[in-house]
C-alpha cells in the first residue's frame, strides 16, 4: 500500500480524495515543503554564482601558471 509522503501513513489511493496524501493537511504540509525549497534554491544559486565562481577561475589560472619543469630545474 502506498504511504503518505508527508506523514508516512498508509493511503488508499482509490478512496482518498487527497491522494497520494492521507489528508488535506498532509497535502498542504508537502506543498509547503516544496515552496520552501523552491524559494531557498534560487537564493543559494545566486550567491554561489557570483564571487565563488570568480574565485574558482582565479585558482585554476594560478595552478596552470606554475610550470613543473621550473621546479625540477632548481
Chain residues in the site for Zn ion (CB under 5 A): 4, 6-7, 9, 22, 26
Nearer to Zn ion, 9 or 45 (CB): 9
Distance CA 34, CA 62 (A): 41
CB of 11 to Zn ion, least distance (A): 7
CB of 14 to Zn ion, least distance (A): 17
| Number of residues that make up the chain | 74
Q: Provide the terminal-to-terminal Cα distance of the chain, rounded to the nearest Å.
A: 71
Nearer to Zn ion, 8 or 60 (CB): 8
Angle value at C-alpha 13, between 11 and 14, nearest 5 degrees: 130
Beta bridge partners of 13: none
CB of 21 to Zn ion, least distance (A): 5
Amino acid at each position: 500500500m502506498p504511504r503518505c509522503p508527508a506523514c508516512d501513513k498508509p493511503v488508499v489511493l482509490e478512496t482518498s480524495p487527497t491522494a497520494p496524501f492521507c489528508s488535506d493537511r498532509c497535502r498542504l504540509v508537502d506543498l509547503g515543503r516544496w515552496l520552501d525549497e523552491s524559494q531557498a534554491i534560487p537564493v543559494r544559486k545566486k550567491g554561489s554564482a557570483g564571487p565563488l565562481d570568480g574565485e574558482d577561475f582565479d585558482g585554476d589560472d594560478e595552478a596552470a601558471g606554475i610550470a613543473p619543469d621550473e621546479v625540477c630545474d632548481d
